[in-house]
Amino acid sequence: MNYRTLITGQILRFSGDPFVTAWEDCVWIETGGLVIEGARIVYVGPDAAKQAHDRHVSYGDALICPGFVDAHVHYPQTGIIASWGKRLIDWLNTYTFPEEMRFGDPGYAKAIAETYLDLVLDNGTTSVASYCTIHPESVDAIFEAGARRNMHVVAGKTCMDRDTAPEGLRDTAQDAYDQSAALLSAWHGVGRAQYAITPRFSPTSTPEQLDALGALWKEHPECLMQTHLSEQVDEIAWVRGLYPAAQDYLDTYEAFGLLGTRGVYGHAIHLEPRERDQLREHGAGLVHCPTSNTFIGSGLFDLAGLGRTGQPMGLATDTGGGSSFSMLRTMAAAYEVAQLRGEAIHAAQLLRLATAGSARVLHAGDQIGSLETGHMADITVLDLASTSAIAQRSERAEDIWEAVFPTLMMGDDRAIRSVWVAGENLRGGT
């Protein structure tokens, strides 16, 4: 028999997409709560305390949120986060590729996977979508670590067969297909694991490999496909040289069956009009990685403009090109990037992007990213006065958004009061 746990505090719920509809449509429950039975939420509302329960956990005036969903990371880059001074291509060659070569060692892969998931839980993230390395061992490691915590983990073997990747980090078109198929069969749908077919990006795959992965996706349309798109202008020029017949960067995927509703495209900063139209027409997901885009000098993602069109979008730290494991810091960076484009992003839009927006992109919105009856009880509780600097500002708040916004802009792991995963309290106590 499952115990029923009542959790009370302030609650924000989204009735729609605040990039498209008015943010005023969000529902604020000043004194409310939710009831968890087993791994799932069974009730949410202002009168939650009236529902049958076996124990009560009160968080006072803290804000109860869905657990954050980080929709684009590279867990193998945990150890090289915040590495100095390189553009994308140099950064890959100098830091990323040498580190990724170590992940053929199952022990090393396991240690980094455990460290990574502990770090993101400390920061209120309960679901991640990660690239691994070419080594199947790296995929096993993150799924096994996720299963031990009962986290929702999306991951896939990163495929690279072109000589633009270093020797020791290249597979073949056939190996990419065979190993990805085997990992998909072993992990997809096991517990909370979700497999993603993962070509790193067009410059490190031959047409033959992209074609093989497109064929695999056609055979398994229930899976996600994750890759990178239009991150830097010099990267785009590189792609044009490697794929001279392509209409644009997106066409290097589209031509091989790697464009679809379950496609997840990281960065997507420098999109051509045709690419925007095609991505929106297919309902493909874009993932904004603002700390990475500023840290590596990639450019300014058009968050507000794409959001107004209804484009599915999520938010991500992009560890380790991104300079933080914190989705709070990532929301602050998204706000700053938008300001540089002349747009002020509302707190409601930022919170939804980091939760329900990312869940939608990962096609898991019926399970995570929202506080809804039947959803998994993945919950992050925010202390809205976690530091003296934040507290003195939030004391002046005249509405809930003024109370929340300082935490989104200045908060860090100290603002994470508690984290629940599948109904279990993993951080912060009760």
CATH number at residue 18: 2.30.40.10
Same domain assignment for residues 39 and 108: no
Q: Are residues 10 and 106 in the same domain?
A: no
* Whole-structure pTM value: 0.97
Mark whether 346 and 323 lie in a shared domain: yes
Burial class (CB in 10 A: 0-12, 13-18, 19+), 94: middle
* Residue 408: partners with Cβ closer than 8 Å, 6 or more residues away: 328, 331, 332, 335, 347, 350, 351
Residues 137, 13 within the same domain: no
Which of 361, 379, 398 marks a domain boundary? Answer: 361
Q: CATH number, domain at 175?
A: 3.20.20.140
Query: Residue 256 corresponds to which tokens in the numbers above?
Result: 């091989």
Indicate if 170 and 226 belong to the same structural domain.
yes
Q: What is the DSSP string of 62-109?
A: EEEEEPEEEEEEEGGGGGGTT--S--HHHHIIIIIHHHHGGGGSHHHH
Domain boundary, last residue among 336, 361, 386: 361
Q: How far apart are CA 130 and CA 74, in angstroms?
A: 5
Same domain, 9 and 90: no
Sole residue written with tokens 């939608």? 360
Helix (H) or strand (E) holding 224: strand 224-229
State how far the Cα of 184 lies from the Cα of 283, in Å rounded to an integer: 23
At a CB cut-off of 8 Å and minimum separation 6, what does 352 contact? 14, 17, 18, 19
Tell me what pLDDT residue 14 has: 85
What separation, in Å, do the N-terminal and C-terminal C-alpha atoms of the chain show? 21
15, 60, 390 from 73: Cα distances, Å: 28, 33, 28
pLDDT at residue 344, rounded to an integer: 96
Do 251 and 400 belong to one domain?
A: no
- Give me Rg for the CA atoms of the chain: 21
Same domain, 192 and 171: yes
Taking 50 as the pLDDT cut, the residues of the chain under it are none
Q: What is the per-residue pLDDT for 430?
A: 65
Task: Tell me the C-alpha distance between 310 and 186, whole Å.
Answer: 35
Q: Specify whether 284 is located in the same domain as 218.
A: yes
What is the tally of structural domains in the chain? 2
Tens of pLDDT, residue by residue over 311-355, are 999 999 999 888 999 999 999 999 999 999 999 999 999 999 999
Residues 220 and 275 in one domain: yes
**Placement of tokens 């690239």 in the chain:** 131
Sign (positive/negative) of CA torsion 342, 312, 223, 254? Answer: negative
Query: Which of 313, 343, 361 finishes a domain?
Result: 361
Domain with 26 in it: 4-66+369-427
- 154 and 221: one domain? yes
Distance CA 239, CA 204 (A): 10
Residues 62 and 80 in one domain: no
User: pLDDT per residue over 229-250, tens digit each?
Assistant: 999 999 999 999 999 999 999 9
Runs of H (alpha helix) within 123-167: 136-149
